[in-house]
């Protein structure tokens, strides 16, 4: 089970900016008991060795597959039961009119917590890859039932807003069949589009007609500045990180064909943040019960060293969601392949939850690594949409309407480049350490002082 950890608080002072640490529990030795799980999963109904019928109990979540109606009832019942920790909203509808539900789990579910990051999980982008959908429902259940008893979970929810979209492709799920490990039935949305080939692409023009589910995600991540994201898939056991595409790749229509025939010739397509993406992927793989072993699902499938891979090195694809998150919005997303079988029988779901639970929690906590802070004018007012870049890392990011920014970075010394309309650009040196994030506040000077309104009230960060 998750164990109590000491907290660390340190101070880093830099001459070029204000930098200090945020209180973060150390979580190096979090462990889960492998035999007696009753104390780890409060509020869960065990699946046993055989499938069980769904029971819509507001205080329990069984290890069975939930169709869209079951899932909707569970989410609504949960937010009614835990109004102080959850909020339910829809980002849009599928082609066939099913709501694309998102559950926020946080100590502040209805409003953004100033200075604290938003993170997300997305499941079931391929409708027949069903394990992730159920893992995310159990993730919701675990977080809310552990908040008052587990200090680490309490810290995570007090300092993070976690948005969970269990199913991006409910229409495809409805067309899928339990027990089907391979094949494409239900993979696509109801118009026959692969949603993970439907986003704008950095390397190649994507001419596929944008789908309602894809448009909903694009609008969602344009409104909320997510720092970290995981997309749950099935059909392999690996954490795959950007880039998924490369300037000169030959794109295959079938991912399974690509995996077999391109595994020997595909080249990695590395981002400027390759060290961070490898770390995030290893965080998931190393905390997973099996993933880090790198064992191939089948004899004809590739094996992955340490359970991670660069996406393009595995097989290149155009229009992937993780590249879009990173390039367009500065959100670091990793694709998490969590099951060799795409839609295994329900009685195996408990095993998958046991394998992934710790990984899912520790992955999200990585949003609290690196640098974060505010960009302000001389009166302390927030500067919205300031453009930021870590020198030497060309993929930029921007501030929120409150002037906030976040960037996940590994320990080291960096230079932050800040640009904002009407202000003199700034370069700020800072240091990142392992134990805690660095808080760095940057004050920008107006490029034309007479245009600056000095009677503006200072912005109160509290």
Q: Catalytic one among 333, 337, 366, 404?
A: 337
CA 394 vs CA 330, 416, 427: distances in Å: 11, 11, 15
**Nearest-angstrom CA–CA distance, 194 and 221:** 19
Question: Tokens 């150390």 belong to which residue?
Answer: 26
Helix (DSSP H) and strand (DSSP E) numbers for the chain:
10, 20
In the sheet that holds 412-419, the strands lie side by side as: 397-398, 387-390, 412-419, 426-432
**Nearest-angstrom CA–CA distance, 418 and 426:** 5
Cβ neighbours of 86 (radius 10 Å): 22
**Nearest-angstrom CA–CA distance, 140 and 128:** 21
Query: Residue 325: which residues within 8 A CB-CB, separation 6 or more?
Result: 221, 226, 229, 331, 332, 333
Residues in the chain: 462
Concerning whether 134 is annotated as a catalytic residue, the answer is no
- What is the secondary structure of 99-151 as a DSSP string? EEEEEEESSSSSSPPTT--EEEEEE-SSTT--HHHHHHHHHHHHHHHHTTT-H
Three-class SS state of 380: coil
Q: What are residue 412's DSSP bridge partners?
A: 432
Residues carrying an active site annotation: 337
């Amino acid at each position: 089970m998750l164990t109590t950890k000491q907290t660390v608080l340190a101070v880093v002072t830099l001459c070029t900016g204000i930098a200090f640490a945020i209180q973060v529990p150390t979580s190096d030795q979090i462990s889960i008991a492998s035999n007696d799980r009753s104390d780890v999963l409060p509020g869960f109904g065990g699946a046993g060795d055989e499938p069980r019928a769904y029971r819509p109990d507001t205080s329990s979540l069984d290890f069975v597959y939930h169709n869209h109606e079951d899932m909707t009832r569970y989410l609504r019942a949960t937010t009614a039961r835990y109004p102080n920790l959850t909020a339910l909203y829809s980002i849009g509808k599928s082609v066939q009119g099913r709501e694309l539900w998102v559950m926020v789990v946080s100590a502040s579910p209805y409003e953004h917590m100033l200075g604290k990051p938003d993170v997300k999980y997305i499941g079931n982008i391929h409708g027949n890859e069903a394990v992730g959908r159920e893992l995310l429902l159990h993730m919701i259940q675990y977080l809310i039932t552990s908040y008052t008893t587990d200090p680490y979970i309490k810290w995570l929810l007090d300092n993070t807003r976690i948005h969970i979209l269990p199913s991006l492709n409910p229409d495809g799920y409805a067309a899928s069949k339990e027990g089907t490990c391979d094949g494409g039935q239900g993979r696509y949305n109801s118009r026959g589009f692969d949603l993970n080939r439907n986003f704008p692409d950095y390397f190649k023009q994507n001419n596929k007609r944008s789908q309602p589910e894809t448009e909903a995600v694009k609008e969602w991540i344009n409104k909320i500045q997510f720092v970290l994201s995981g997309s749950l898939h099935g059909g392999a056991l690996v954490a795959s990180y950007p880039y998924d595409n490369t300037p000169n790749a030959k794109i295959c229509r079938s991912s399974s064909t690509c995996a077999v025939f391109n595994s020997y010739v595909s080249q990695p397509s590395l981002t400027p943040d390759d060290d961070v993406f490898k770390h995030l992927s290893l965080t998931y793989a190393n905390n997973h019960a099996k993933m880090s072993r790198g064992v191939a699902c089948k004899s004809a499938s590739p094996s992955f060293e340490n359970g991670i891979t660069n996406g393009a090195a595995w097989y290149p694809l155009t229009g992937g969601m993780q590249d879009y998150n990173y390039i367009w919005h500065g959100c670091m997303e990793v694709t998490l392949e969590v099951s060799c079988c795409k839609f295994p029988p329900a009685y195996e779901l408990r095993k998958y939850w046991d394998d992934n639970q710790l990984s899912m929690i520790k992955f999200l906590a990585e949003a609290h690594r690196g640098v974060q802070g505010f960009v302000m004018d001389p009166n302390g007012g927030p500067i919205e949409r300031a453009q930021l870049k870590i020198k030497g890392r060309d993929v930029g990011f921007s501030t929120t309407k409150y002037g906030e920014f976040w960037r996940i970075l590994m320990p080291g010394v960096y230079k932050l480049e800040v640009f904002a309309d009407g202000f003199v650009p700034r370069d700020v040196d800072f240091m990142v350490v392992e134990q805690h994030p660095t808080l760095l506040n940057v004050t920008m000077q107006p490029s034309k002082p007479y245009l600056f309104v000095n009677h503006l009230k200072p912005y109160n960060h509290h």
